Amino acid sequence: MSELMNSSSSRGGFRRQLLTSVSALALLGLVCAAVEPAAADEGNDYPTVWIELGGQLERMDGGQTPFAPPFFDAVTKGGFESPLEAGRPSIYSNGAEGAISFTPDNSDWVFSASVRYGRSNGHRFLHQQFKSLATPGVFTPTKNKYAPPNFAQTKADNSEAHLIADFQAGKDVGLGLFGGESTSVLSAGVRFAQFNAKSDATIRARPDAHFVIKSASGFKIPLDQYHQYYASAQRAVSFRGFGPSISWKASAALSGNPRDGEIALDWGANAAILFGRQKAKTHHHSTGNYHYRNGFAPVTAQLTPHTGTSDRSHSVVAPNLGAFAGLSFRFDRAKVSVGYRGDFFFGAMDGGLNTHKSYNQEFYGPFATVSIGLP
C-alpha cells in the first residue's frame, strides 16, 4: 500500500505557566524567610496564623467504558492508529492550592481550612491518509482510474476540573516526639470534593478502498469498492460529595534551627467517607455506507446505524485515602515546601457508556507551597 501521511495537532498536559508561578512563589518565600531572623530578634513568638499558597502537577487515573464501534477493527487492519488511542483523554492536570490555619496562643489546637483546584484541557486532531490506489495492471478499454484514498480521521476534545476542600480541627499530640521542633497533628473535620469531565469525539474513516476485477466481453474491468464510516460520542460526567474526614500531619527537623534556617521532613495521611451523587450524560452514534458497482452502475448501500443515549444519576458512598511526603526549608515565620502527594477516591465516577458503572478517580504528583506566618 502507498505511503501513509499523518497530520496531527494536540495541546494539554503540563503547562509552563504553572512552573513559572511555583518558582515565583518559592522565590517569594525565600525572600520573606531571609528577612525573618531580624524580626525574630524582637520577639520569638510563634505565629498564630499561617497562610499557604502553592501549585501542583498531577497525573489523573480513572476509567470509563470505551466507545468502540465495530468498524474500529477495520481501521486498525487498514494500517491506521486506533481511534481509541487518538481520542483518549489527557492524563495530566495542573492547578493551585491554598490553606489558612489558626493556632490560639498557648494552645496545641490547630484550626484549618484548605482548598485544592486542578484542571486539564486537551484537543487532538489526527488525520491519516494513504495515496490513492491506482487500477491494477489489467487489459481494460478505459483509461487508468483511481480508487478514493483510504483515510482515518479523529477529532477529540476533552476537559476536566476537580476541587477538594477541607475544614478541620486538630491537636498536636506529639510535640517533641521526633525532636525539639517536631510536630504530630491529628485532625478531624469534613471534606468536600467535586469532579467534572467532558469529552466530544468525531471519527471518520474509509479504511478499505480496493478494486474488484470483473470480466465483460473479453475485457477485465476493475471496479472500485469501499466502506465509509462515521461516528461521534459525547460524555458529561460528574461527582459531588461531602463527608467526615481525619488526617495526620507530622514534621521532623533534619538539620539547622528555625532561627538560622532549618530543613525538615514532612509526611502525612488522610482518609474520608464522601456521601454524594454521580451523574453521567452520554450520547453516541455510528453509521456507514458501502459503495460498490452493480454491473457498472455505482451503488451506495446504507449500513445499519447505531445510536445510544443515557442520562443517569446515582447516590454513592465514595471512600477516600491519601498520603504525602516532602521536604521543607523553614524559618520562624516562613516555609517553602516541596513533595509528592496522592489522593484516591474509590467508586466516585460513573464511567459507563449505556449503563451505570462506577470507576475510581485518582490524583498523584508533585506539589510546591510557600507558607507565611502572621503574629
Decide if pLDDT at 15 tops 60.
no
Rounded CA-CA distance 24/86 in Å is 36
Rounded CA-CA distance 340/285 in Å is 42
- Which pLDDT does position 86 carry in this prediction? 77
Task: Please state the rounded mean pLDDT for residues 334-339.
Answer: 95
Burial of 298 (0-12, 13-18, 19+ CB in 10 A): exposed
Task: Please state the rounded mean pLDDT for residues 328-333.
Answer: 88
For the ranges 78-82, 87-91, 350-354, which has the lowest average pLDDT?
87-91
Instruction: Please enumerate in sequence order all residues whose Cβ is within 8 A of that of 188, keeping only pairs 6 or more positions apart, or say none.
Output: 168, 169, 170, 244, 245, 246, 247
Domain boundaries, the chain: 4-374
| Residue 308 banded pLDDT, cuts 50, 70, 90 | very high
Decide if pLDDT at 282 tops 90.
yes
CB-based contact 343:324 (threshold 8 Å) = no
Decide if pLDDT at 75 tops 70.
yes
235/17: higher pLDDT: 235
CB-based contact 221:140 (threshold 8 Å) = yes
- Which pLDDT does position 115 carry in this prediction? 97
| Residue 42 banded pLDDT, cuts 50, 70, 90 | very low
- Which pLDDT does position 239 carry in this prediction? 97
Rounded CA-CA distance 30/300 in Å is 71
Rounded CA-CA distance 365/57 in Å is 6
| Residue 39 banded pLDDT, cuts 50, 70, 90 | very low
- Which pLDDT does position 176 carry in this prediction? 55
48/11: higher pLDDT: 48
Rounded CA-CA distance 259/330 in Å is 9
- Which pLDDT does position 107 carry in this prediction? 85
- Which pLDDT does position 30 carry in this prediction? 40
Rounded CA-CA distance 277/372 in Å is 37
* Half-sphere CA count of 236, side-chain side, radius 13 A: 5
Decide if pLDDT at 250 tops 70.
yes
Q: Which of 119-133, 183-197, 199-213, 248-262 tops mean pLDDT?
A: 183-197
- Average pLDDT along the chain: 84
Decide if pLDDT at 160 tops 50.
yes
SS3 62: coil
81-103 pLDDT tens trace: 888 887 788 889 999 999 999 99
- CATH number for domain 4-374, candidates 3.30.420.40, 3.40.50.300, 2.40.128.100, 2.30.30.280: 2.40.128.100
Decide if pLDDT at 249 tops 70.
yes
For the ranges 11-15, 43-47, 290-294, which has the lowest average pLDDT?
11-15
Task: Please state the rounded mean pLDDT for residues 30-51.
Answer: 55
| Residue 108 banded pLDDT, cuts 50, 70, 90 | confident
Task: Please state the rounded mean pLDDT for residues 97-121.
Answer: 93
- Which pLDDT does position 175 carry in this prediction? 58
- Which pLDDT does position 179 carry in this prediction? 59
Cα 131 → chain centroid: 36
Decide if pLDDT at 20 tops 80.
no
Phi and psi dihedrals of 89, rounded to 5?
-65, 160
The closest of 228, 219, 282, 217 to 67, measured between CA atoms, is 282
Decide if pLDDT at 119 tops 70.
yes
- Which pLDDT does position 236 carry in this prediction? 96
| Residue 35 banded pLDDT, cuts 50, 70, 90 | very low
